[in-house]
């Protein structure tokens, strides 16, 4: 149980047991030590399991222990056991070399713990073993320390929102033979997940979505600071399904870019960030944030408007808030079933309520697009899309048990609840999401960006999109390998063939080296340029076109071009573009292939090429690919 909810003041507000529903509100019930009459028998059952399991593993691993004893150094550390009894914990330290690395990968450091479990110093399941000098709650020392515990699981799934002491007290209140065996199974499921150490990146990009990498206290602090500003701010939670939507919905991507705070929601985002090498601090979500947010709002005396859900659901949520946080004022409620023509009346209702915080539960991307469209008109400080939160809080839909949430299987529970509605989202969407992240991990997918004006929120909290787009994306690893293959298979024979042809005029120029604009410096607002090999200004000189293609492929290998991109433009050509076109094109890479452009004369070809590039940038990914490939059949193009 969270420590901040177990205080006496919070317990005094807990409603009668018949009012409290199972699922979401079960976390608010005070945790008491386990005093079941069968507790001694349960303890004997767990001790028998520990003895049999550890003894069997020691017999099976006996040859490995002999090898580890020869190849590793032994160490000891004084730690606290049950009732504070001190014992020396054994450990094995690997030596440099291939064998040492192999044994370290097998977890040889923890093998001696099986001996401690066998002799009774430790258990498979129990609170983390503490060093002698480490302070610890006396209640935690009432049981044997173990390898697996709730804190072990929560840290690996990034849902460790409270302290380790709170997690230990939660375990002591629920411990038993069945509970401990389930905890051990969950620990085995998540043992392979890494526990990040060191500094975390401020921003994490998964797919086409950039996240603010915060933990729970930092997220609450950020929202609290937003409530103190006069400007309106939008908060968005993004799960893997949202990442899939953002990949094909340009308007939703723009809303995400304009949001003041984007938070990760779900184990899928955590797995994706780990695969990309940018781990999250915590796996935040609206359901876990809600009780802590309500407590903060209650202390501030803030006012909340609830918008969304089926008829009657928002009112049920308001009643629950009144039971647990009576000082938090709910100044208005409305269901989420309204038409576009009614949006003006809804906005007027929210504005007239004088609310500080607006919670919208209408599904993704409708709720976030609705907030983005009317954010300045709501009159609130913070507007937040919360998805299915109202259904969980009102009790209309049960939330997954703790063990499923901690092991990342909440989506299985939701799929079992509503298979007809959610099968495509989870069974198809999850594999689509993992495929998209895998392509991004190996450099085979380029992140889509949409140029926007700088956000109104402080640059200390949100990286400016313009600054993020200042450097055009270079070619991916797959693109470079493909270019190298093309140079070897096509380019080199082509150059040899051109040299053999005696009819070629040696004075003809294959290319001109020109200064090409690649964007604008965000600090000085000056044009940034790079020297690229382009066809000569006089088309009559461009006779050795094959050599020019090889030069473009070589520049692709050097990272100066991509396979598909915009046309190279000189300073003069860039200055002739409309300002709004410059904003769209300045962040795009220079390509070897461009979108086709046709014109009745050369005077209008430059403008036609610029328009083709703009439509290529703002188009859908499939349309961009088709447009880039179709240029091979174009009669004329701008270079």
Count of residues for the chain?
A: 639
First to last CA, the chain: 65
Angle between helical axes of 250-258 and 240-248 (0-180°, round to 10)? 120
Judgement on whether residues 63 and 36 belong to the same structural domain of the protein:
yes
Judgement on whether residues 405 and 433 belong to the same structural domain of the protein:
yes
Evaluate whether 252 touches 365 at the Cβ level (below 8 Å).
yes
Enclosing H/E stretch for 616 = helix 605-618
Judgement on whether residues 184 and 211 belong to the same structural domain of the protein:
no
pLDDT over threshold 80, residue 197 = no
| Last residue within a domain, chosen from 388, 415, 448 | 448
Judgement on whether residues 526 and 396 belong to the same structural domain of the protein:
no
Residue with tokens 């005094």: 12
Judgement on whether residues 380 and 507 belong to the same structural domain of the protein:
no
Q: What are phi and psi of 555, to 5 degrees?
A: -65, -30
Judgement on whether residues 229 and 175 belong to the same structural domain of the protein:
no
Q: What is the DSSP letter of 80?
A: E
- Give the residue from 393, 453, 408, 437 showing the smallest Cα distance to 587: 453
In this prediction, residue 317 carries a pLDDT of 93
State pLDDT tens for residues 231-244.
899 999 999 999 99
In this prediction, residue 70 carries a pLDDT of 81
For 572, the domain range is: 468-633
Task: Please tell me the pTM assigned to this model.
Answer: 0.63
What is the token pair recorded at 435? Answer: 């495929």
| 5: in domain | no
What is the token pair recorded at 496? Answer: 């040899």
Section 324-337 average pLDDT: 92
Evaluate whether 71 touches 94 at the Cβ level (below 8 Å).
yes
Report residue 535's pLDDT band, with 50, 70 and 90 as the boundaries. Answer: low
pLDDT over threshold 60, residue 381 = yes
State pLDDT tens for residues 445-455.
777 766 654 33
Judgement on whether residues 177 and 116 belong to the same structural domain of the protein:
yes
State pLDDT tens for residues 460-477.
232 222 222 233 344 455
| 257: in domain | yes
Specify the range with the lowest mean pLDDT, choosing from 16-30, 210-224, 295-309.
16-30
Enclosing H/E stretch for 24 = none
Q: How far apart are CA 279 and CA 201, in angstroms?
A: 8
- The count of domains in the chain is 3
| Last residue within a domain, chosen from 384, 413, 448 | 448
| Last residue within a domain, chosen from 413, 448, 483 | 448
Which residues touch 606 (CB under 8 Å, ≥6 apart)? 573, 576, 638
| 457: in domain | no
pLDDT over threshold 80, residue 638 = no
Q: How far apart are CA 358 and CA 363, in angstroms?
A: 15
Judgement on whether residues 501 and 568 belong to the same structural domain of the protein:
yes
pLDDT over threshold 90, residue 349 = yes
Q: What is the DSSP letter of 427?
A: I
Judgement on whether residues 167 and 210 belong to the same structural domain of the protein:
no
Evaluate whether 183 touches 402 at the Cβ level (below 8 Å).
no
Enclosing H/E stretch for 352 = helix 343-353
Task: Work out the mean pLDDT of the chain and round it to a whole number.
Answer: 77
Q: What is the DSSP letter of 428?
A: I
Spacing of C-alpha 253 from chain mean position: 14
């Amino acid at each position: 149980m969270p420590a901040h909810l177990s205080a006496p003041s919070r317990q005094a507000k807990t409603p009668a047991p018949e009012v409290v529903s199972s699922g979401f509100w079960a976390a608010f019930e005070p945790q008491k030590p386990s005093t079941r009459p069968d507790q001694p028998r349960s303890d004997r059952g767990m001790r028998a399991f520990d003895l049999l399991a550890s003894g069997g593993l020691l017999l099976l691993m006996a040859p490995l222990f002999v090898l580890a004893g020869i190849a590793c150094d032994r160490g000891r550390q004084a730690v606290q056991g049950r009732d504070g009894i001190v014992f020396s914990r054994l450990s094995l330290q690997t030596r440099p070399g291939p064998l040492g690395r192999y044994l370290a990968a097998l977890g040889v450091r923890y093998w001696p713990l099986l001996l401690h479990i066998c002799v009774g110093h430790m258990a498979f399941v129990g609170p983390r073993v503490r060093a002698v000098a480490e302070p610890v709650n006396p209640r935690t020392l009432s049981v044997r320390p173990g390898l697996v515990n709730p804190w072990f699981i929560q840290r690996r799934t990034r849902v460790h929102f409270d302290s380790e002491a709170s997690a230990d007290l939660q375990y002591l209140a629920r411990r038993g033979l069945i509970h401990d065996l389930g905890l051990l199974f969950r620990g085995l499921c998540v043992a392979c997940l890494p526990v990040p150490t060191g500094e975390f990146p401020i921003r994490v990009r998964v797919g086409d979505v950039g996240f603010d990498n915060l933990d729970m206290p930092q997220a609450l602090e950020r929202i609290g600071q937003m409530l103190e500003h006069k400007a309106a701010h939008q908060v968005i939670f993004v799960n893997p399904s949202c990442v899939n939507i953002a990949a094909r919905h340009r308007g939703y991507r723009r809303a995400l870019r304009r949001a003041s705070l984007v938070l990760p929601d779900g184990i899928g985002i955590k797995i994706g960030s780990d695969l990309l090498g940018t781990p999250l601090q915590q796996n935040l979500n609206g359901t876990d944030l809600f009780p802590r947010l309500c407590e903060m709002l209650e202390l501030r005396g803030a006012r909340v408007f609830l918008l969304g859900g089926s008829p009657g659901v928002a009112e049920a949520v308001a009643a629950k808030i009144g039971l647990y946080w009576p000082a938090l004022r709910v100044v208005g409620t409305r269901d989420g079933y309204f038409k576009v023509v009614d949006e003006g009346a809804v906005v007027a209702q929210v504005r007239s309520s004088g609310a500080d915080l607006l919670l919208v539960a209408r599904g993704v991307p409708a709720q976030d697009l609705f907030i983005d469209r009317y954010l300045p008109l709501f009159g609130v400080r913070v507007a937040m899309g919360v998805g299915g939160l109202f259904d969980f809080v009102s009790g209309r839909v049960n939330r997954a048990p703790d063990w499923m949430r901690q092991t990342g299987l909440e989506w299985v529970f939701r799929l079992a609840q509503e298979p007809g509605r959610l099968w495509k989202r989870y069974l198809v969407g999850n594999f689509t999401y993992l495929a998209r992240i895998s392509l991004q991990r190996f450099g085979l997918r380029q992140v889509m960006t949409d140029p926007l004006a700088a956000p109104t929120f402080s640059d200390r909290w949100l990286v400016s999109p313009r600054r993020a787009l200042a450097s055009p994306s270079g070619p991916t690893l797959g693109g470079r390998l493909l270019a190298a293959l093309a140079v070897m298979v096509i380019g080199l024979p082509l150059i040899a063939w051109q040299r053999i042809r005696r009819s070629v005029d040696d004075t003809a120029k294959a290319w001109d080296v020109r200064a090409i604009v690649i964007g604008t410096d965000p600090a000085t607002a000056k044009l940034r340029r790079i020297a690229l090999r382009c066809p000569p200004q006089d088309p009559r000189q461009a006779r050795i076109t094959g050599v020019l293609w090889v030069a473009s492929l070589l520049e692709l290998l050097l990272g100066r071009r991509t396979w598909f991109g915009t046309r190279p433009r000189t300073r003069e050509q860039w200055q002739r573009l409309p300002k709004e076109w410059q904003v769209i094109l300045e962040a795009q890479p220079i390509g070897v292939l461009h979108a086709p452009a046709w014109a009745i004369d050369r005077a209008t070809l430059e403008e036609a090429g610029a328009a083709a590039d703009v439509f290529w940038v703002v188009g859908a990914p499939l349309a961009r690919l088709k447009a880039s490939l179709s240029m091979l059949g174009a009669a004329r193009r701008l270079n």
